[in-house]
Amino acid sequence: MPATSRCVNVGLGALTAGAASRDDGLVTESKRERRGHFRGKARPGRRVDVRYRVFEHGQMSDEHRAHTLNIGVGGAFIVTPEPAPPGTALQVQVIVPSQPRPIEIKAEVRWIIDGKNDEPVGDHGMGCKFSGLDVDQLMALNEYFASLTSTVDIDEA
């Protein structure tokens, strides 16, 4: 019986500590994810106008207008003064001049820069991972990116 009592007490302490450190865990994961997305050199000409909506509590938010600092077929860094937390689902519309309508893409916020942690000074925003792109969307995005930079990156070809 004493062993069971000890396990319960340890379990309650772990629950309390877990709730208090959940935010710290999200910050740590966001930093780790952000470090994995930095390139050796910036891609020129990857500022693209976007609109996005945040999907929270089963509802889509109002539309936000923003731009990217960097975008590829795998994701984008969207500049916004109030980035959504990591793990948040987004609906992103990439405005491509050659297309009759914006390209709609599902995305997930993977990391953020919001100035609340020890991040480098710069634009606040969120690193987003795209998902569910179809072949036509991939081709349209690659053609557009090639027109911006006059080359196609090897990892996007």
Residue 51: CATH number of its domain:
2.40.10.220
Domain assignment of residue 143, yes or no: yes
Domain count, the chain: 1
Q: What whole-number distance in Å separates Cα of residue 86 and Cα of residue 51?
A: 18
Which sign does the torsion angle of CA 57, 58, 63, 69 carry? positive
pLDDT at residue 19 tops 90? no
pLDDT at residue 27 tops 70? no
Domain assignment of residue 15, yes or no: no
Q: What local confidence, expressed as pLDDT, does residue 33 receive?
A: 53
Element (H, E) at 52: strand 49-56
Where does the pLDDT of residue 26 fall: very low under 50, low under 70, confident under 90, or very high at 90 and above? low
Domain assignment of residue 97, yes or no: yes
